[in-house]
A and B are shown apart, each in its own frame.
Chain A
Amino acid sequence: MRDTAHNALETALRPGVEYADVRVVDLRERTLGTKNGKPSQVAESESLGLGVRVLAEGCWGFAATDDLSKAGMERAAAQAVAIARSSALARVEPVRLAPVDAYQAAWMSPYLIDPFSLSVDTQLGLLLSIDAELRRNSGITLAEASLSLRREHQVFASSIGSLIEQTRTYTGAGYEAYSFRDGDLQKRSYPNSFGGQHQLKGWELINELRLVENAARIADEAVALHDAPPCPQGRFDLILDSSQLALQIHESIGHPIELDRVLGSEANYAGMSFLTLDQLDHLRYGSEIVNAVCDARLEHGPGLGTFAFDDEGVPAQCTRIIDSGRFTGYMTSRETAAAIGQARSNGTMRAASWSRLPLIRMTNVSLLPGPHSLDEVFGADHAIYMETNKSWSIDDKRYQFQFGCEIAWEIRGGKRVRMLKNPIYSGITTEFWNACTAIADRCHWTLWGVPNCGKGQPEQVIGTGHGASPARFRGIRIGAGSGE
């Protein structure tokens, strides 16, 4: 693959090309699923190809191919240059890039147990055990369990002399229990919705998740929800579990800090951001206890956004996004950093595959642990505690949001007093984070994987990481009706 990347780069360096980079990616995936006691998905796939990105006449061109012959590479390189030159027809200013050093590096994400080394029957056996445990409760009408494994081997080469080889191994698993009764469909997922938990780990993640051990509880909760009262509407203190808070972070911190979105690149599709440039270092994003980072380094944890270098050869970094409540940083690329006068990219350019252009994507955007014990977070006289995301929606400036969760409990005096069904909350991003009154400490902090983040045209679906511990928010709007 190194030779392929080198050859493709040489091919791309034609007269008039100011900069070029090449990514050669070899991707292997395994997807297993069960449904009501039977295998529903047993599949593996492999995909090998390369993408060539060039800067010519001050404009970008990108072409990708799975034909790695000399002719295929030449065609892709020529097409990338032709595309860049055509872009110049509608150019306002030439692209400028913040500098980056040249790196020669090889990096492999650590794992204890290679997930591809386990036999498929062992892995399916685990899912079938979960399935059996879920359906032990006769109220469960549908049980689904899934396992996804992914290994990306990538070589990046650029015209400034970088040659970076990275191999990342991801593992994910989870399950859902559905119960349908009299027109009421309830669902519980474990350890999270979106196919469960996903991390940059090996099979050891599966052992940590205690999937089978939690199945009976999850099934019981799904069935019990039918008899639970609906979550009351009004303004209440709200406590979120760390998985729901991870998605809250994703939507209302992660997306708005994408600098390409701020600058208008996504205006037609994913939208823009309320975080206009004048807000940097000024906006009171959250309360004093709110601290958030964008951190791709392994020391942050084995997240879906962990790597050694981003997809334009910039080293992994930690950027402080919110510092004691104050907004302090965007996610940038070499181009957008230069556009706002910053000296360097903070390394967040990622592509979903060899066939896609790198874009600014969340790495691991995390809420740092707070100073509170779990008892203190739950210590409110009266609150609603919600767990596990069910629905999520936010406006195209990332300002007004509504989330639904699978289950809630009414909290009185720090104790769960009754289960509630169909909980929903909504709010305005900055009002919500400024209402944060307690964040649990590192003992309760989890780095969640969100595997299905979409952005860009053609759309790219990529995994992102979000660390969070349970937190409490004061006076949040609960319910979805037009009446308060």
Chain B
Amino acid sequence: MSQTAELVSERQCREALDAAIGAARGSGVAEVEVLIGAEREALTRFANNTIHQNVEAIEHHVSVRVITDQRTARATTSSFDQGAIARATTQAIALARASAPDPGLCPLLEPSEAGTPPAVNRFDEATAAATPHSRAEAVQRAIDAVRSAGQTAAGIYSNGESFEAILNSAGVAAFHRQTSAVFSITALAEDSSGWAKVSSTSSKDVDAEFLARQAADKARRSRHPREIPPGRYTVILSPAAVLDLAGQIFADFSATAIADDRSFLSGRMGEALFGENISITDDVTHPLQSGPAFDGEGAARSRLSLVERGVAKEVAYGRTAARREGRTATGHGFPQPSDAGEMPVNIVIAGGGTSIEDMIASTRRGIFVTRLWYIREVDPYEKIMTGMTRDGTFWVENGEMQYGIRNLRFNQSVVELLRNVDALSPAVRASGEESFDMVVPAMRANEFEFSEVTRY
């Protein structure tokens, strides 16, 4: 029995669809899809050892899409009121009729084509029921841990729940309910800082004090940072740093991006682009993954082998791309209409057997990176990215972390990075700020290009 009130019930979703179908029928339109979303997000934010922002927001939307005469359009409202849904439907029809026909437009997804999304259970009652008081208590414990190290804490503790549903007039109906808990902390010392973060579907995985001690330890060990010259170095990237950098390439694993010639995989499918130790899948059923098991039209997500022992093997196909190329859709499409088409969003990079400690112990000279920041694309075909290190960058020599170093700017091809990996840790669920959460290992790679040094 649920302890928390549902954000949206399945009955409300079906009533919303009926309202949209009813309004569309009056205008002679039969193909109707509703995409329903709701979220309750509560977030406690702290800085300077005190809670300074503390919020909760509950939001809903009903988005109606219609198809008529090979035209489609979408109108969205924040209200579940039947009149508001009818108005949104009428507006979507007006937009569609004003639009130009698209011969490649797919009809609504049929249940037979949608398949059955794999069962995933990503809702935790205790996480949904967490209170501002319980978050504040955890935050206070974390602040105390950092303060006891003579440092200052800043960060967030959030929890919430979300709901997604897609229903259409052809009979597709898919529902997903999920919780989330995120704790992130930065420990600030006089001239250094450290960072730790965890993200999960359950607050049971959040140990605020442990993360606070980790961040404080990084800040302590990186104090009085020294400057090292730019150049190519062996680098040990934490899972969060791997996520933020490697995460920049996955929008390219899209049949639409390849057809548009804006993917680094254009003309390269089947090539050994990366090292043999790199294998990447998209797997919504992985126990450390999150999100619904269906895509933006309600199709079941399938498992993709994106990279197999370094070779680019598969990409995501939405229905439009699949129809154009005579392929089977993979269940990774965005809500339609979409210029981007599709994308894998449940990334799992296979890990190895080398712990981070063993990577450090076997490194003669190199740099350990806790976190990366402000990553942007410099070259779209070689996937050269620039960005900065942040909150715990260390010089490693003779098998030990020696001292903190000033933050560095990198200009590094991700393709080349994944060719130069010589050690992988076991994969974990990682969370950063530059890409979406993934299951990734820590990596050690050679010849990583740091181009400049900052003064902090």
Q: A interface vs B, CB < 8 Å?
A: 33, 35-36, 38-49, 51, 59-67, 79, 82-84, 86-87, 89-93, 119-121, 124, 128, 141-142, 144, 178, 180, 183-185, 263-269, 271, 274, 355-357, 391-397, 399-400, 402, 404, 422, 424, 426, 428, 457-458, 480-482
Is B188 touching A264 in the complex (CB atoms < 8 A)?
yes
- Contact A393-B136, Cβ < 8 Å, known A120-B95, A124-B100, A402-B386: no
Which of B24-32, B48-56, B169-177, B347-355 faces chain A? B48-56
Interface centre among B43, B56, B76, B96 (most CB of A within 10 A): B56
Most chain A CB neighbours (cut-off 10 Å) among B48, B55, B91, B135: B55
Q: Is the CB of A268 within 8 A of B186?
A: yes
Provide the residues of chain B in CB contact with A426, threshold 8 Å: 409, 451-452
Taking a contact as CB atoms under 8 Å apart, the answer to whether A142 and B261 are in contact is yes
CB distance from B55 to the nearest CB of A (A): 4
Q: Are B185 and A458 in contact (CB under 8 A)?
A: no
Best-buried of A79, A82, A83, A268 by chain B (most CB within 10 Å): A268
Residues of A within 8 A of B143 (CB): 90
Q: Quick one: which of B195, B376, B377, B449 has the most chain A CB within 10 A?
A: B376
- Given contacts A90-B140, A264-B154, A458-B41, is CB(A396)–CB(B377) below 8 Å? no
19 contacts between A and B (CB under 8 A): A39-B337, A42-B95, A44-B74, A44-B76, A44-B91, A47-B77, A49-B59, A64-B59, A83-B55, A89-B140, A90-B136, A267-B193, A268-B195, A404-B386, A481-B449, A481-B451, A482-B230, A482-B450, A482-B452
* CB-CB nearest 9 A-B residue pairs: A180-B261, A120-B98, A400-B454, A45-B76, A86-B132, A40-B339, A267-B154, A42-B73, A64-B57
CB–CB A62/B54 < 8 A: yes
B304 to nearest A CB, angstroms?
A: 24
Q: Mark B347-382, 1 if CB is under 8 A from A, else 0.
A: 000000000000000000000000001111111110
B58–A267 touching, CB < 8 Å: no
A207 to B: closest C-beta gap in Å: 20
By a CB distance below 8 angstroms, the chain B residues around A79 are 56
Partner of A119 from B41, B51, B98, B386 at Cβ < 8 Å = B98
Partner among A92, A144, A271, A357 whose Cβ is within 8 Å of the Cβ of B49: A92
Is there an interface contact between A393 and B376, defined as CB atoms closer than 8 Å? yes
- Note all chain B residues with C-beta closer than 8 A to A397: 454, 456
Residue in contact with B99 in the complex, picked from A42, A180, A357, CB distance below 8 Å: A42
Please determine whether B59 and A66 come into contact, CB atoms closer than 8 angstroms: yes
Check A87–B381 contact: CB distance below 8 A: no
Known: A90-B139, A267-B188, A392-B376. 4 other contacts (CB 8 A): A183-B267, A457-B43, A458-B158, A482-B450
> Is B402 in the interface zone, CB < 8 Å from A?
no
A395 touching B388 by the CB < 8 A rule? yes
Q: Is the CB of A268 within 8 A of B156?
A: yes
A457→B58 CA distance, assembly (Å): 15
Complex partner residue of B79 from A42, A48, A269, CB under 8 angstroms: A48
The answer for the CA separation of A144 and B338 in the assembled complex, in Å, is 12
Cβ–Cβ < 8 Å partners of A92 in chain B = 48-50
Which residues of chain A are near B16, meaning CB under 8 Å?
A: none
Chain A hits for B95, CB < 8 A:
42-44, 120
Give the distance in Å from the alpha carbon of A83 to the alpha carbon of B55 in the complex.
7
What chain A residues lie within 8 Å of B152 (beta carbons)? 264, 267
Q: Is the CB of A89 within 8 A of B47?
A: no
Give which listed residue, A41, A62, A399, A481, contacts B339 with CB less than 8 A: A41
Docked Cα-Cα span, A264 to B53, in Å, equals 12
Chain A residues with Cβ below 8 Å from B378 are: 391, 404, 422, 424, 480
- Residues facing A in B53-100 (CB within 8 A) are 53-61, 63, 71-79, 84, 88, 91-92, 94-96, 98-100
Complex-state Cα separation, A91 to B140, whole angstroms: 9
Interfacial chain A residues near B91, Cβ < 8 Å:
44
B404 → A minimal CB distance (Å): 15
Complex CA–CA separation, A33 to B184 (angstroms):
37
Cβ-based interface call for B286 (8 A): no
Contact with A along B370-403 (1 / 0, CB 8 A): 0001111111110000111011000000000000
- B140-181, CB < 8 A from A: 140, 143, 152, 154-156, 158
Q: Which residues of B contact A391 (CB under 8 A)?
A: 376-378, 386
Task: Report if A402-B337 is in contact (Cβ < 8 Å); known contacts: A47-B61, A62-B56, A83-B54.
Answer: no
A481-B411 contact given A60-B52, A185-B381, CB 8 Å threshold: yes
Known: A62-B56, A89-B136, A91-B51. A402 touches B96 (CB 8 A): no
Q: Are A89 and B50 within 8 A (Cβ)?
A: no
Q: Report B-chain residues with C-beta under 8 Å of the C-beta of A457.
A: 43, 45, 53, 156, 158
Interchain CB contact (< 8 A) of B48 among A33, A180, A264: A264
Q: Does B407 contact A (CB under 8 A)?
A: yes
Q: Which residues from B are CB-within-8-Å of A33? A: 339
> Does B287 belong to the interface (CB within 8 Å)?
no
The distance in angstroms between the C-alpha atoms of A213 and B433, with both chains bound, is 40
Q: Closest approach, in angstroms, between the C-beta of A230 and any C-beta of chain B?
A: 11
Q: What is the CA–CA distance of A48 and B76 in the complex, to the nearest angstrom? A: 11
Distance between Cα atoms of A179 and B60 in the complex (Å): 40
In the complex, chain A residues whose CB is within 8 Å of the CB of B136: 86-87, 89-90
> In the complex the two chains form, is A89's CB within 8 Å of B96's CB?
no
Chain B min CB distance to A425 (Å): 12
Confirm or deny: B422 has a beta carbon within 8 angstroms of a beta carbon on chain A: no
Is B190 an interface residue, CB under 8 A from the partner?
no
A124–B96 Cα distance when bound, in Å, is: 11
List the A side residues contacting B380 at CB < 8 Å: 185
Residue from the set A49, A84, A180, A402 with the largest chain B CB neighbour count within 10 Å: A402
CB distance from A51 to the nearest CB of B (A): 8
CA distance A83 to B98 in the complex (A): 47
| Max chain A Cβ within 10 angstroms of own Cβ: one of B47, B140, B143 | B47
Are B53 and A357 interface neighbours, CB within 8 A? yes
Q: Which of A121, A357, A428, A480 contacts B451 (CB 8 A)?
A: A480
Report the bound CA distance from A482 to B450 in whole Å.
6
A185 and B380 CA atoms in complex are apart in Å by 7
Q: Give the shortest distance, in Å, between A329 (CB) and chain B (any CB).
A: 22
* Residue of A35, A51, A400 contacting most chain B CB atoms (<10 Å): A400
B360 to chain A minimum Cβ distance, whole angstroms, is 23
The CA of A435 and the CA of B84, in the complex, are separated in Å by 56
Residues of B within 8 A of A142 (CB): 260-262
Complex Cα spacing A92 to B56, Å: 22
Query: Distance (Å) between the CB of B318 and the closest chain A CB?
Result: 13
What's the nearest-Cβ distance from chain B to residue A388, in Å?
15
CA distance A29 to B261 in the complex (A): 30
Closest beta carbon of chain A to B356's beta carbon, Å: 22
Chain A residues with Cβ below 8 Å from B77 are 45-47
Determine how close the nearest CB of chain A comes to the CB of B21; give it in whole angstroms.
19
Tell which of B54, B376, B381 touches A60, judged by Cβ atoms closer than 8 Å: B54
Q: Which residues of B contact A141 (CB under 8 A)?
A: 260-261
B75 nearest CB neighbor, chain A only:
A44
Q: Bound complex: CA of A262 vs CA of B293, how far in Å?
A: 42
* Per-residue A-contact encoding for B188-206, CB less than 8 Å = 1, 0 else: 1000010100000000000
Do A64 and B58 form a contact, CB below 8 Å, given A43-B95, A357-B53, A396-B373? yes
Q: Which of B211-240 contact A (CB under 8 A)?
A: 230-232
Question: Do A121 and B78 touch (CB < 8 A)?
Answer: no
Distance of A217 Cα from B403 Cα, bound (Å) = 53
Known: A185-B262, A269-B433. A39 touches B388 (CB 8 A): no
